[in-house]
């Protein structure tokens, strides 16, 4: 009986000591790992690169003005040649080869948003973050469609295209719309373009 009483007393003592210990708190600046049920990273994810994290904050909060402020326009020569593709078209009164500042867009077709039209851009709609990667030097780059140095792929709500923001020298230099958002298609983009994964897909 005496031995049993001593064991009970010891258990009570251990319990009281544990109850007095403070609970652990999450480390500041860390992002929780996605659960197995999640297909994509949260928009609250941060990677420690200022220009990328600023863009993530802008998209997560819906701050279109902040996103616009991150655009780095490309100076290219406009053309009077009709047809799809190629450099941006000259406006009425602009001579062939006039230098214009644009933000290129790629999707089913290419287009350009001029600097004086940036207020028309409503940003992007995203529900998650697929991946972030450094773009291989082997990726083809045109003067008017810069490949960029880092790409951030956002996934959108169902039935809407994914969006890739391409960064160079701290700014967004191109916006791509990705209509085939199947896992195979998104993985193929990484296989084709990624020199280094900054943030790998959840599914990897």
Structural domain includes residue 28: no
| Residues of the domain holding 173 | 50-199
Domain-embedded: residue 5: no
How far apart are the C-alpha atoms of 152 and 166, rounded to whole Å?
Answer: 6
Q: Is residue 91 part of a domain?
A: yes
pLDDT digits (tens, 9 = 90+) for 130-146: 999 999 999 988 889 99
Does residue 95 form part of some domain?
A: yes
What is the per-residue burial (b if ≥16 Cβ within 10 Å, else e) of 152-173? bbbbbeeeebbbbbbbbeebbb
3-state SS assignment for residue 152:
strand
Confirm if 120 and 113 have CB atoms less than 8 A apart: yes
Does residue 84 form part of some domain? yes
Q: How many domains does the chain have?
A: 1
pLDDT bracket for residue 37 (50, 70, 90) = low
Unique residue bearing structure tokens 């319990």: 15
Q: What is the pLDDT of residues 56-100, one digit of tens each?
A: 999 999 999 999 999 999 999 999 998 777 899 999 999 999 999
Which stretch of DSSP H or E encloses residue 58? helix 50-61
pLDDT value, residue 31: 52
Bigger pLDDT: 75 vs 26: 75
Looking at residue 113, which CATH number applies to its domain? 3.10.450
Model confidence pLDDT, tens digit, residues 119-131: 999 999 999 999 9
Closest CA to 150 of 124, 121, 171: 171
**Quick one: three-class SS letters along 79-90?**
ECCCCCCCCCEC
Within a domain: 25? no
> In angstroms, rounded to a whole number, what is the distance separating the alpha carbons of residues 164 and 204?
19
Spatial contact of 104 and 121, defined as CB atoms under 8 Å apart: no
Q: How far apart are CA 106 and CA 118, in angstroms?
A: 16
Q: What is the pLDDT of residue 106?
A: 94
Asked if residue 8 has pLDDT above 70, the reply is no
Question: Which backbone phi and psi does 4 adopt, to 5 degrees?
Answer: -65, -40
Q: Is residue 77 part of a domain?
A: yes
Query: What predicted TM-score, i.e. pTM, was given to this entire model?
Result: 0.81
In a domain, 24, yes or no: no
């Amino acid at each position: 009986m005496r031995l049993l009483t001593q064991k009970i007393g010891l258990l009570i003592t251990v319990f009281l000591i544990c109850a007095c210990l403070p609970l652990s708190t999450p480390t500041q600046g860390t992002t929780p790992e996605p659960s197995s049920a999640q297909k994509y990273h949260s928009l609250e994810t941060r990677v420690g690169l200022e220009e990328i994290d600023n863009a993530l904050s802008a998209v997560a909060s819906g701050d279109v003005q902040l996103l616009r402020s991150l655009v780095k326009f490309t100076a290219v020569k406009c053309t009077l040649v009709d047809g799809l593709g190629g450099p941006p078209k000259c406006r009425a009164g602009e001579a062939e080869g006039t230098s214009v500042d644009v933000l290129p867009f790629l999707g089913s077709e290419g287009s350009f948003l001029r600097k004086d039209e940036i207020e028309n851009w409503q940003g992007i709609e995203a529900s998650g973050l697929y991946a972030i990667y450094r773009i291989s030097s082997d990726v083809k780059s045109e003067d008017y469609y810069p490949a960029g140095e880092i790409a951030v792929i956002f996934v959108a709500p169902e039935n809407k295209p994914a969006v890739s923001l391409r960064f160079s020298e701290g700014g967004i230099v191109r916006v791509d719309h990705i209509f085939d958002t199947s896992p195979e298609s998104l993985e193929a983009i990484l296989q084709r373009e990624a020199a280094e994964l900054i943030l790998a897909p959840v599914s990897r």
